[in-house]
Amino acid sequence: MKQLKKIWADPVWSKVISAIIIAIGAVFWTLISTKIDDVDFQTAWINLWTFNIKLWWLTVGIIIFLLLFWLRQFFKKSIFKYDDETIKLDRQIFEKIRTELLPQTGAIYFLRHNNFAGFSFNTDSIEDLDNFEHECNKSDFEFLNPDLERMKIELLNSVDHFTGQIAVQTFPTNNGRQTVPPEWEIEQPERFWEVVNDLHRTKFQICDKYDELIKLGRRVLKI
C-alpha cells in the first residue's frame, strides 16, 4: 500500500496511471455498448469518441468535480496524522508543559485552592504562569497537532487575562506579598467583587483548559 501511494504521488507515474485507467474504462464502456446497442466494437468505439456532450452536462460535471476536489482538500487538511518525527516534536512540547512549565503541583495546584477575596499571596506561587506565557511567545513552541495547539492557545488566553488582572488589580502588602486590597470590600465593594469574581472565574478556566490539554495530550501522544 505504501509503495502504491509513493507511485501515485510521483507526478509522472500518476499521469501514466490515470491515462491507463481512462483507456481501460473506455474499452470496457465500448464493450458494454456493443451488447446494449447491438453493434460491433469499431462502431461502438467511434460512437464513444463522437458522442455529443450537452453544454449543461459539461457544466454540471465541472461543478461536481470542483466540489469533490474542494471536499478532498478540506478533509485532508482537517484530518491530522502523526509520523515518527512529528509525534516526537509534540511529545517534547507536551512534556515541557506538563513537567517544567505548568506541573500539577505548581501554579495549577495553587489556583485550584487559593481564595483571592482579599487574602494575600506570594507571587512566586504563580511564577509558572509567567514562564508559560514567555515560552508560548517563542515561534517554535507550537504543537503540530491542530487540536493540541488550539487547546494550548485557549489556555494561554486565560493565563494572559489572569496575569494581566493580577498586574493591575492587585497590590503589594507590607510583607512583600500581593493582594486585592481588602479595604476595597468596604470602600469600593463593587470594584472589589468585580475583581475577585473575575480572578476566580479565570483561575477555574485556566484549570479546566489545563486539564483538557493534559488529558487530550496523554491520549493522543500516548505518554
Domain assignments of the chain as residue spans, ordered by start: 2-78, 84-221
Contact 149, 129 (CB under 8 A): no
Rounded to an integer, what distance in angstroms lies between the CA atom of residue 94 and that of residue 87? 10
For residue 29, give the 3-state DSSP assignment: helix
pLDDT value of position 85: 93
Whether the per-residue pLDDT at 33 is higher than 80: the answer is no
pLDDT value of position 3: 61
Higher pLDDT, 106 or 4: 106
Whether the per-residue pLDDT at 9 is higher than 90: the answer is no
Q: Which of 177, 184, 101, 84 is nearest to 135 (CA)?
A: 101
Whether the per-residue pLDDT at 77 is higher than 70: the answer is no
Q: What is the pLDDT of residues 175-220, one digit of tens each?
A: 989 999 999 999 999 999 999 999 999 999 999 999 999 999 999 9
DSSP 8-state assignment for residue 99: I
Which amino acid is present at 110? F
Which amino acid is present at 159? V
Residue 1's alpha-carbon distances to 5, 16, 126, 164, 208, in angstroms, are: 6, 18, 51, 53, 42
Strand partners, 178: 121, 172
Strand partners, 172: 178
Helices and strands: H and E segment counts in the chain: 10, 2
pLDDT value of position 87: 96
CATH code for residues 84-221? 1.20.1440
Q: Which of 135, 130, 152 is nearest to 143 (CA)?
A: 152
Q: How many C-beta neighbours within 10 Å does residue 94 have?
A: 22
Whether the per-residue pLDDT at 121 is higher than 70: the answer is yes
Residue 101's alpha-carbon distances to 105, 129, 131, 143, 212, in angstroms, are: 11, 8, 6, 15, 16
pLDDT over 70 percentage in the chain: 87
Contact 132, 159 (CB under 8 A): yes
pTM above 0.85, yes or no: no
Contact 181, 168 (CB under 8 A): no
DSSP 8-state assignment for residue 9: H
Q: What is the pLDDT of residues 129-157, one digit of tens each?
A: 999 999 999 999 999 999 999 999 999 99
Q: Which of 148, 203, 138 is nearest to 170 (CA)?
A: 203
DSSP 8-state assignment for residue 76: H
